């Protein structure tokens, strides 16, 4: 039941520290060595993989985008992301050394099922990342990594998404371990960062009231934009999808670098724009994002900035600032998505919508 929450979705948002911990449980040794026995592909088969294609729909496809960034960086294997329903109709290049990853919380999404069937007819191996034990997609796959989020009842995916991210990180690190593209201590340090996520998530959730206040302030918004870069780009897409499906609001997510190629024309006085700022690091990602925020603010946008807690460089350009725990860039989606989930859940509640059963939507889409 809902344990005192008004919606299953809100309950599931608050379950995320536990869900993320469960997704990691038993999958690494104390020293950070990964143990993914359920990936029933031999080390040789894993070494032979020369391309990965991740298929999924909606939120699952956004988790796949984060996975692409992580897997290519850690494993140096070319990795594509494809919407399941586009996949087989474009005659994709598949060989026995292609690994197709079928990403699905429910394990019953027809588009993704058809994509995996197509991949198998071409001789490719299919690995499912799935939350539902014994569902069709894992049953038809060569191997499965279960996400262990527990049942997700709200139509909008929340803990399903965060645990998909964890499963992707584990897959990427496992491939890096088997293929030797990362040293043991590098893998260990990322595993320890993932293990710290539940505590980080507790802190993000402790700030829920500030996000609810934000939702009250923007209850009359007609359009909301979301900007991100790198692993923050899928977060922007996910933030926008949540608002569309729950608040029935026009929302769009963009890669911040794309702004000047068109979308900046949309910016007008008072437009709320969520900006996911990458952690400060050796690359220029952070500074480029800060300049994008300056640009849109100069044009009157109301900037709602999600940034590392001690990021003083961006603070002057934030009309509202949401502080995120300090985590590595590739892991930031885990903490950055949660305020956007809370915002959409609260805004939809204020608008009087049924958050758990949004109009026109089904929890699993079992028709193509």
Give the residue numbers marked as catalytic.
363
Nearest distance in Å: CB 364, ligand M6R? 5
Residue 41 CA to its chain's centroid (Å)? 25
Applying CB under 6 A, the span of 3-11, 58-66, 189-197, 337-345 interacting with ligand M6R comes to 58-66
Task: Residue 324: name the closest of 316, 169, 333, 76 by CA.
Answer: 333
Query: Which of 104, 136, 147, 188 forms a contact with ligand M6R (CB under 6 A)?
Result: 104
Binding part of the chain for ligand M6R, among 17-25, 68-76, 101-109, 274-282 by CB under 6 A, reads 101-109
By CB under 6 A, tell whether 58 contacts ligand M6R: yes
Closest distance of CB 129 from ligand M6R, Å = 9
CB of 114 to ligand M6R, least distance (A): 12
Q: Does 105 bind ligand M6R (CB under 6 A)?
A: yes
β-bridge partners, 252? 225
60 binds ligand M6R (CB under 6 A): yes
Q: Are the C-beta atoms of 105 and 152 separated by less than 8 Å?
A: yes
CB of 107 to ligand M6R, least distance (A): 7
At 11, is the secondary structure helix, strand, or coil? helix
- For ligand M6R, the binding residue among 53, 67, 94, 155 (CB under 6 A) is 155
Residue from 9, 55, 57, 115 in contact with ligand M6R (CB under 6 A): 57
**Cα end-to-end span (Å), the chain:** 31
Q: Can you say how many angstroms the Cα of residue 40 is from the centroid of all Cα atoms in its chain?
A: 25
- 20's CB contacts (< 8 A; 6+ apart) are 159, 162, 163, 166, 194, 197, 198, 201, 334
Dihedral sign computed on CA atoms, order 322, 326, 329, 334: negative
CA geometry: angle at 239 spanning 352 and 73, to 5°?
160
Contact 134, 173 (CB under 8 A): no
Give residues 349-368 in contact with ligand M6R (rule: CB under 6 A): 364-365
**In this structure, what token pair is assigned to residue 232?**
């923050």
Among 16, 106, 177, 332, indicate the residue that binds ligand M6R (CB under 6 A). 106
Q: Which of 64, 71, 156, 215 binds ligand M6R (CB under 6 A)?
A: 156
Which of 157/163 has CB closer to ligand M6R? 157
Which parts of 29-48 interact with ligand M6R (CB under 6 A)?
none
Among 157, 177, 332, 349, binds ligand M6R (CB under 6 A): 157
166 with 190: CB under 8 angstroms? no
Site for ligand M6R in 187-246 (CB under 6 A): 241, 245
> Which H or E element spans position 81?
strand 79-83
What's the rounded Cα separation, in Å, for the pair 27 and 350?
40
Number of residues that bind ligand M6R (CB under 6 A): 16
Binding positions for ligand M6R, rule: CB under 6 A:
57-60, 104-106, 109, 112, 155-157, 241, 245, 364-365
């Amino acid at each position: 039941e809902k344990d005192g929450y008004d919606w299953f979705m809100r309950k599931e948002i608050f379950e995320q520290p536990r869900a993320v911990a469960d997704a990691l449980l038993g999958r690494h040794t104390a020293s950070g060595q990964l143990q993914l026995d359920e990936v029933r592909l031999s080390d040789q088969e894993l070494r032979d993989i020369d391309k990965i294609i991740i298929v999924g729909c909606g939120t699952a496809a956004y988790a796949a985008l984060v996975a692409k960034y992580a897997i290519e960086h850690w494993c140096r294997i070319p990795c594509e992301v494809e919407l399941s329903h586009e996949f087989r109709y474009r005659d994709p290049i598949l060989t026995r050394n292609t690994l197709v990853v079928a990403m699905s919380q429910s394990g019953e999404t027809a588009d993704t099922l058809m994509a995996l069937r197509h991949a198998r007819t071409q001789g490719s191996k299919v690995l499912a990342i799935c939350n539902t034990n014994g569902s069709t997609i894992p049953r038809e796959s060569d191997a499965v990594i279960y996400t262990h989020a527990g049942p997700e009842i709200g139509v909008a995916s929340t803990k399903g998404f965060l645990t998909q991210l964890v499963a992707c990180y584990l897959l990427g690190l496992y491939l890096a371990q088997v293929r030797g593209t990362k040293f043991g201590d590098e893998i260990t340090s990322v595993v320890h960062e993932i293990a710290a996520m539940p505590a980080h998530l507790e802190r993000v959730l402790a700030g829920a009231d500030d996000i609810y206040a934000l939702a009250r302030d923007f209850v009359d918004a007609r359009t909301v934009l979301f900007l991100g870069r790198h692993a923050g780009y899928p977060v922007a897409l996910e933030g926008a999808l949540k608002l569309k499906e729950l608040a029935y609001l026009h929302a769009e997510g963009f890669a911040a670098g794309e702004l000047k190629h068109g979308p900046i024309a949309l910016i007008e006085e008072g437009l709320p724009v969520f900006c996911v700022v990458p952690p400060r690091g050796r690359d220029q990602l952070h500074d480029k994002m800060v300049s994008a925020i300056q640009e849109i603010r100069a044009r009157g946008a109301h900037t709602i900035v999600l940034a590392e807690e001690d990021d003083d460089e961006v603070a002057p350009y934030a009309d509202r600032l949401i502080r995120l725990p300090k985590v590595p860039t590739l892991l930031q989606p885990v903490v950055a998505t949660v305020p956007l989930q809370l915002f959409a859940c609260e805004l939809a509640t204020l608008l009087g919508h049924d958050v758990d059963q949004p109009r026109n939507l089904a929890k699993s889409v079992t028709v193509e």
